[in-house]
Amino acid sequence: MEMEMSALAMSSTLILALAMTLIFLLKAKSSSAIKWPPGPKTLPIIGNLHQLGGDELHIVLAKLARVHGAIMTIWMAKKPVIVVSDVNSVWEVLVSKSSDYAARDAAEISKIVSASSHSINTSDSGPYWQTLRRGLTHGPLGPLNISAQIPIQQRDMQRVIREMQQDAAANGGIIKPLDHLKRSSTRLVSRLIFGDTFDNDPYNDSMHEVVQDLNRFGGIALLEQAFSFAKHLPSYKRGVKEFHIHKRKIDDLVRPVVASANPPSNSYLGFLQSQNYSEEIIIACIFELYLLAMDSSASTATWALAFMIRDQQVQEKLYQDIKRVIGDGVDLVKAEDLSKMHYLQAVVKETMRMKPIAPLAIPHKTAIDTTVMGTKVPKGTCVMVNLYALHHDESVWAKPYTFMPERFLQGEDGKSVTEQAFLPFGAGMRICGGMEVGKLQFSLALANLVNAFKWTSAAEGKLPDMSDELQFITVMKTPLEARIIPRNP
């Protein structure tokens, strides 16, 4: 009897193995029957993964696109990913056929902190997503609320400058500007979530630390999407464990603040509560706003400072542009002054061109069978938009790897700049909802920091390292340290 049971078990196992093999082969055959866009030659099992190392992913993909075309297929093991890299293909995906490409290809691990893909950036387009986005962009990120934030943010910039002066005085004139700018961004995001009067430094400092820690595990999601068997790897299991630990930290941090808050209707929390969402969804949506907004403006402003440390002529031109508008002896640049500072706007745009904060945007997924530039793309296909490649396209930009703010000034020589080739916030249905507040925060910070200080290298003769590191956003691989010299001591 035992032998019969053993034989039966072995037969069942063999049948199961054969069935799984057949399913795998059928899927592989199905994928191979589709005429995918061209791409680099693959290897068995791993696809193109062996070609994606070295530089950061957006840079590697840009180099591959120059060889294989602006629409190419990259195989993440057995998973095809279409990458678009030029003006026409990017515009078709993001704008002309925006709804076709508006679904999301969220990694399972991201569901831990997104209430199972119920946040704005992880949910597919549809009525739920539309309600969430409308609530965010018409309320806390709406024009009236942003206008109300301006005087508060201007006072906050004065605080940032004071704290930088204190930091420099204690450290031989050297500071790490990113830390100061992130804390300012965290305070702004908290006011957008809980209301203008929210002022809780211990909470903001704790949230800053949680976001910093979680950013280190951004690559785990890519690992999962690349390998279907990644869930069995020790590194992935450690990542999942860390995500759960941070999920508990987020809950413990946000829950009591939400419970005790009396948010105004134009705050994000006010909107979320008005929809009667579950506590899990409310906390996930709140944390997502910190994750996406806390680092973006701060990191972009830090990139701009690094560019100007490397090119003191650009810094001096910007300083003179600021003085032209506000005059000498004025300590605070106000938001109303920014639009008059044409060179400032050029520096802002050139920084976002050179270092787009999300160089591969957030991966899209086709909601229906569709096409891109005439090539069929099946429903459910992951599509990546390489904004870095778009912003460095030599057919559009003169000297694309050179920092030249002048390219954005009218009347300057050079190739024409079209809005379709400059998409630092994406475009179409999935365009960044925080675009306006992000531009305001970046411009206001940069103008005030250059007005207050001259920025130089921390060590004489050693220029900032401009290498990228792709986490959830693009950050400096070597965090910027700078020596600041007060303009008006």
Please state the residue numbers annotated as binding site: 432
- Please give the Cα distance from 468 to 56 (Å, whole number): 7
Amino acid identity for residue 223 in this structure: L
Please give the distance of CA 454 from its chain centroid, rounded to a whole number: 29
365 has which bridge partners? 103, 382
Residues of the binding site for heme:
432
Dihedral sign from CA coordinates of 138, 150, 429, 285 = negative
- Please give the Cα distance from 65 to 280 (Å, whole number): 41
Q: Name the H helices within 69-142.
A: 87-91, 127-138
DSSP letters for 5-69: HHHHHHHHHHHHHHHHHHHHHHHHHHHHHS-PPP-SPPBTTTBTGGGS-SS-HHHHHHHHHHHH-
Pairing mode, strands 482-486 and 364-365: unpaired
Residue 435 has φ and ψ, to the nearest 5°, of -55, -50
By CB atoms closer than 10 A (0-12, 13-18, 19+), residue 327 is: exposed
CB 458 within 8 Å of CB 174: yes
The helix/strand/coil state of 273 is helix
Q: Name the H helices within 327-434.
A: 342-354, 387-391
Residue 468 has φ and ψ, to the nearest 5°, of -85, 155
Angle, helices 296-310 vs 342-354, to 10°: value is 100
Please give the distance of CA 31 from its chain centroid, rounded to a whole number: 31
Amino acid identity for residue 93 in this structure: V
